[in-house]
Structure 1
Amino acid sequence: MSFSMTGYGQSSLQYAGYKVELEIKSVNHRYCEVVLRMPREWTCFEDVLRRTVQQYVKRGRVDIYINKEADLENVAYATLNHSAVKAYLHAADQLNVQYGLEGKLTVKDILALPDVLLSPDRVPIDNEEDMEKWGDVLQEGLRKALESLMTMRRKEGQHLMQDVEQRLERLQVLHDEMVTYAPHVVEEHRNKLRQRLTELQDNSFTLDDQKLGMEIAVYADRSNIDEELIRLQSHFKQCRELLLADEVIGRKLDFLIQEMNREVNTIGSKSNYLALVTRVVEMKAELEKIREQAANIE
């Protein structure tokens, strides 16, 4: 099954008096690029979270936003930052010793200083056990968000596949029409050439059927498109097989589209037959639409 590279997912969970919200957005990208934005104290989890994303997503740019807020219904108090208090008291002692400044900090003074009181959403993680538990929580929330993302990418991928299949069917119809018209190319050229020579005939020269035959044979060899039509048919088959494959197909599909474009361009350069030229133009238009869709397929 193929997936679109565009999608959105989110999850929310609560732990230790906090509400953790995760939001994931993915867009087109040539490779798999994961960008994480989260509180600084969680940067140590960045590598493991990135590897988790890569288990789900093979191609595309994935932006992940992780936010932590205090659950004020359960935790409605501030926490004293002991490290900051000790630092302020030590600085006060140094002022007294080095500069002879007198005076003592009161409780009111200390509480008014920056970072002495931490709101619940800024309480630091103090020990390794807490860090490990938070790592498990983030993994759980990320997987839920990724499942939501992949559900959307799967649905969008199905729509893309249906559109590509319909355009392949149209390409097949145009190909079959080309096969029908191809034998008439030489016949029309022969008739036009004979008619032109007849119109130019003023009894000053004699029509040489042998030279005329050689000229037509050279044109027939130069304008033959059988090989291009056979290769196009092979590419159509490979595209259909890719659409049914359970693997990442975006790059392979893009390569096949390039090859089909090359064959169609060759047919266009060889053909001087209106019916074929018209089909070439239609084929190129359909291939361009498939290319645009393939650019969003994982």
Structure 2
Amino acid sequence: MSFSMTGYGQSALQFGGYKITFEVKSVNNRYCEVVLRMPREWTGYEDMLRRMVQAHIRRGRVDVIINRELTDGAAGAHALDRNMVKSYLDAAEALVREYGFKGELTLQDILAMPGVMDAKEEASPADSSGELAGLLEKGLHLSLEALLEMRSREGAYLTADLTRRLDRLEELHTGISALAPLVVEEYREKLRQRLSQLNDGSFPWDEHKFGMEVAIFADRCNIDEELTRLYSHFGQCRALLLGSEPAGRKLDFLIQEMNRETNTIGSKCNHLAVVNLTLDLKAELEKIREQAANLE
């Protein structure tokens, strides 16, 4: 199953009077990049949490945000900073004295000022038994499950869309394969007509030279190898989409190869209908490339 690189998951747990929230977000990235943001005193668990993420995700940028806040009603949840209050009052008096401002500060004004009522920075509860480590692991695991579920749903949608587009590529391939033998036939008839119009009896008709010219053209515009390789790439793409390994990078390589084969077909086959079909092929391949860029 193919996974998308975009997703989101969250969870929340209670521990020691705290509510600990976990958010995991992932977006497209060429490699697997894990960025963690958490309280400073918990950075000792960063390697453990990073390895957890890397065990589940092979490709994409993953942002892990872990926050903690004291639960409502917890003792000492907020504290009054008297020094901050005094500095605000002194500043207000200075403004009145120096600039003549009028008005008075109310209690509501003072309490709303930044830094007056701050959450107390309490140390995390002791973790001698490893309980906090287990809780962080559990919370991140729950968030990762939600993230992976979203990535799986999006991946299934992308796989279905890419499969439909591969079906369209095969239809165009069938059309080109049917037209390929007619290219030489049409060239032979047009060349014969052209030579007949130009022949005023002043030069003899040479069937051997005529056949040589047609043979050279047939060899120059032969696209059998390109069509075979192109069809092989379709099968490889389908196998990647149905496989269990990340398919994004390999699909990107195959799309480049299919574009190369398509360009060769268009340049070698001097036939309007075939050229039009190759243009449709290139347009569909570009859509596939855009979609495949979202796959892990």
TM-score range, shorter chain: 0.7 to 0.9
Matching residue of 1:125: 124
Report the TM-score when normalising by structure 1.
0.83
Counterpart-to-counterpart distance in 2, 1:67 and 1:128: 17
Offset from partner CA, 1:115-154 (integer Å, 9 cap, x none): 9x9845x211375517x32222111110000000001000
Matching residue of 2:31: 31
Counterpart-to-counterpart distance in 1, 2:77 and 2:221: 84
**Which of 246, 249, 258 is 1:248 aligned to?**
246
Matching residue of 1:68: 68
Counterpart-to-counterpart distance in 2, 1:198 and 1:27: 65
Matching residue of 1:77: 76
Tell me how far 1:200 sits from its aligned partner.
2.3
Matching residue of 2:153: 155
Matching residue of 1:49: 49
**Number of equivalenced pairs:** 260
Alignment of 1:187-226 (within 5 A): 187-226=185-224
Matching residue of 2:59: 59
Matching residue of 2:256: 258
Offset from partner CA, 1:236-278 (integer Å, 9 cap, x none): 1111111111111111111111111111111011011111111
Matching residue of 2:226: 228
Other structure's SS at 2:26 match: strand
Classify 1:142/1:4 alpha carbon distance in 2 versus 1 (closer, same or farther; 3 Å). same
Opposite residue 221 of structure 1, the aligned amino acid is D
Other structure's SS at 1:20 match: strand
Other structure's SS at 1:26 match: strand
User: Does the Cα contact within 8 Å between 1:79 and 1:123 map onto a contact in 2?
Assistant: no
User: Does the Cα contact within 8 Å between 1:254 and 1:295 map onto a contact in 2?
Assistant: yes
Alignment of 1:177-188 (within 5 A): 177-188=175-186
Other structure's SS at 2:128 match: helix
Offset from partner CA, 1:12-63 (integer Å, 9 cap, x none): 1111000011111111111100001111111111111000001111110001
User: Does the Cα contact within 8 Å between 1:79 and 1:119 map onto a contact in 2?
Assistant: yes
Opposite residue 242 of structure 2, the aligned amino acid is L
Tell me how far 1:79 sits from its aligned partner.
9.3
Among all aligned residue pairs of Structure 1 and Structure 2, give the percentage whose two residues are the same amino acid. Answer: 58
Tell me how far 1:225 sits from its aligned partner.
0.5
Tell me how far 1:78 sits from its aligned partner.
5.3
Other structure's SS at 2:191 match: helix
Offset from partner CA, 1:199-223 (integer Å, 9 cap, x none): 2223332332211110110110110
Unaligned stretches of 5+ in structure 2?
A: 80-114
Unaligned stretches of 5+ in structure 1?
A: 81-114
Opposite residue 28 of structure 1, the aligned amino acid is N
Opposite residue 50 of structure 2, the aligned amino acid is R
Offset from partner CA, 1:81-128 (integer Å, 9 cap, x none): xxxxxxxxxxxxxxxxxxxxxxxxxxxxxxxxxx9x9845x2113755
Opposite residue 169 of structure 2, the aligned amino acid is L
Other structure's SS at 1:272 match: coil
Opposite residue 218 of structure 2, the aligned amino acid is A
Counterpart-to-counterpart distance in 2, 1:12 and 1:33: 24
Report the TM-score when normalising by structure 2.
0.83
User: Does the Cα contact within 8 Å between 2:70 and 2:77 map onto a contact in 1?
Assistant: no
User: Does the Cα contact within 8 Å between 2:184 and 2:218 map onto a contact in 1?
Assistant: yes
RMSD of the TM alignment (CA)?
1.9
Classify 1:229/1:127 alpha carbon distance in 2 versus 1 (closer, same or farther; 3 Å). same
